[in-house]
């Protein structure tokens, strides 16, 4: 497994045509890393392959110029079609995510995350806290350091004005996280 800091020397050494990235990466996320890759290596195509069925993330990938976004449960045929399409110079975005999202129903949508100034990662941490995971378990699940998880938790508590975990869990339930 490559760490984000290993990616750039590997790119320079191997000169790939295509890079497949997940959103969850240790120390960063695939969308941010993809943005940096296409900025620094404009001939490389970047395709996100993820479990996150979130139109907001697909929109972000599109907005910053990534070349595709597929769900991990895509069929082999669809994955190959996406790879071939992206390598041929076009874009390929999972058609199941093209649906219209009504405001306030998507926790990554403008009406929720932006209003509360929450990042994708903070919403993810809230969900894992709601599941009952502690800092070590959250760090392991989303491949972050425990200190980074603690920082996300502090930011969440500050942004939401919530000081107790029980209040945060109630918030998550109330908002369908």
Contacts of 133 by beta carbon, 8 Å cutoff, 6+ apart:
141
- Read off the pLDDT of each residue in 153-157 and give the average, rounded to a whole number: 87
Q: What's the pLDDT band for 82 if we cut at 50, 70, 90?
A: very high
Ordered structural domains, the chain, with CATH: 4-97 (3.40.50.2300), 110-174 (1.10.10.10)
Q: pTM (2 decimals)?
A: 0.57
- The 10s digit of each residue's pLDDT in 97-149 is 654 444 444 444 445 555 567 777 888 889 889 989 999 998 888 877 898 88
């Amino acid at each position: 497994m490559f760490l984000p800091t290993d990616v750039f020397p590997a790119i320079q050494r191997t000169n790939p045509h295509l890079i497949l990235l997940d959103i969850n990466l240790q120390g960063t996320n695939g969308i941010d890393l993809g943005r940096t890759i296409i900025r620094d290596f404009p001939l490389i195509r970047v395709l996100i392959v993820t479990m996150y069925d979130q139109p907001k993330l697909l929109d972000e990938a599109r907005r910053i110029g990534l070349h595709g976004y597929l769900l991990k449960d895509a069929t082999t045929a669809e994955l190959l079609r996406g790879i071939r399409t992206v390598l041929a110079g076009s874009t390929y975005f999972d058609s199941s995510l093209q649906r219209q999202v009504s405001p306030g129903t998507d926790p990554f949508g403008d009406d929720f995350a932006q209003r509360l100034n929450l990042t994708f990662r903070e919403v993810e941490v809230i969900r894992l806290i709601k599941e009952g995971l502690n800092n070590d378990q959250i760090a392991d699940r989303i491949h972050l350091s425990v200190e980074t998880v603690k920082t996300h938790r502090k930011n969440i508590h500050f942004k939401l004005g919530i000081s107790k975990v029980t209040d945060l869990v109630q918030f998550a339930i109330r908002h369908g996280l």
